[in-house]
Amino acid sequence: MRRILILGSTGSIGTQALDVIRANPGRFEVAGLAAGTNHEAVAAQAAEFQVEHTALGAVEAEQLVRDVDADVVLNGITGSVGLGPTIAALESGRTLALANKESLIVGGELVTSIAEPGQIVPVDSEHSALAQALRSGTSAEVRRLVVTASGGPFRGRDRASLRDVTPAQALAHPTWDMGRVVTTNSATLVNKGLEVIEAHLLFGVPYDRIDVVVHPQSIVHSMVEFIDGSTIAQASPPDMRLPISLGLDWPHRIGGVGQPLDWTTATSWTFEPLDDDAFPAVRLAKRVGRAGGTFPAVFNAANEQAVDAFHEGRLSFLGIVDLIERVVDAHEAPASLTWESLAEAEAWARRTADALIEKA
């Protein structure tokens, strides 16, 4: 039986993880729960799963990781505040089921340097799909990774038509039910840019061999193309319980987690090139990823400030990625990458972004 520590237990990832655990009582045990501020919800979860150890906030969650006996830490926290718990999980030697992509992106090589091979198991549907497909060949046989994107609520629209997008429109994702930040990031395609950086860090494939393709049906979650011309795709209905279950018990599969595709019904899947003019976030993310060091942290921090400003009516939808690029352009990399220089760069990015928003 695997003991699971769930961080972000009241959010989308956390509640679906508990669904998986609830359906498999002999396979998993909840060792601890952590959330942001929702004390009542955490208390109810703790009562149901008979959990003694709970925490509120990222700092307490990090301490919980260090104190509680667990086999797997599922980090479902949103935002760069998940970095501390990610480091704690890796330093403790536990398997890290990672849904908090920001912590890997912000920490970059500092995080990967403390991770043992196979210690990080991706929970994002795209990276879970890549991990599954990569088992079909060796790293030397991989030609490229193809990350799929739904295209968000504004797929097919040109840049001019996005000038007056409202927060409510940006949150109307056609496929996934996510929180405010992730849903907005999906609308701007910043989320896909972050996922490209994450794919590079997880699998070591160069950026010029990581592509993004728009697949509005969200059935093919990503693909791996091999040197012999074969492409292995992972396909399943859009349900996060499948990649979550793999994160909890990698590489083993759990029966009945999700519904299979209905191959008796006629259906069509489409794939379209990404419009870099309307959605320049992926192109910018690749530039940031190649620069490395503190640049991904600056990219992410500026985006978090921009998303808040957008929802508060202080920044336009197009202004989100424009602002990120201005902050990235102004950033000067430190002489060396340390935890201290990383924190300083992130704080600088937030201050710089806020100042530019005030002038907008």
**286 domain residue, yes or no:** no
Q: How confident is the model at residue 177 (pLDDT cuts 50, 70, 90)?
A: low
The whole-number average pLDDT for the span 133-141 is 97
**223 domain residue, yes or no:** yes
CATH code at position 37: 3.40.50.720
280-316 pLDDT, tens per residue? 999 999 999 999 999 999 999 999 999 999 999 999 9
| 275 and 142 in a common domain | yes
Note the pLDDT of residue 80. Answer: 86
Residue whose structure tokens are 């060792």: 31
> Minimal CA–CA distance to 13: which of 69, 97, 87, 83?
97
Mean pLDDT of the chain: 95
**284 domain residue, yes or no:** no
Q: How confident is the model at residue 360 (pLDDT cuts 50, 70, 90)?
A: confident
**208 burial level (CB within 10 Å; 0-12, 13-18, 19+):** exposed
Q: How confident is the model at residue 176 (pLDDT cuts 50, 70, 90)?
A: low
> Minimal CA–CA distance to 246: which of 115, 136, 121, 100?
121
In the three-class reduction of DSSP (H, G, I as helix; E, B as strand; rest coil), residue 96 is classed as strand
36-86 pLDDT, tens per residue? 889 999 999 999 999 999 999 999 999 999 999 999 999 999 888 999 999
79-124 pLDDT, tens per residue? 889 999 999 999 999 999 999 998 999 999 999 999 999 999 999 9
Encoded amino acid at 192, one letter: K
| 267 and 140 in a common domain | yes
Quote the percentage of the chain above a pLDDT of 70.
Answer: 99
CATH code at position 314: 1.10.1740.10
Peptide bond into 251 cis (omega under 30): yes
**Does pLDDT of 217 surpass 70?**
yes
Q: How far apart are the first and last CA of the chain?
A: 54
**84 domain residue, yes or no:** yes
Note the pLDDT of residue 178. Answer: 64
For the chain, how many structural domains are there in total?
3
> What burial letters (b/e) apply to 161-177, b meaning 16+ CB within 10 Å?
ebeebebeebbebeebe
For residue 190, give its domain range: 124-238+262-279
The whole-number average pLDDT for the span 175-187 is 81
| 138 and 45 in a common domain | no
The whole-number average pLDDT for the span 191-210 is 97
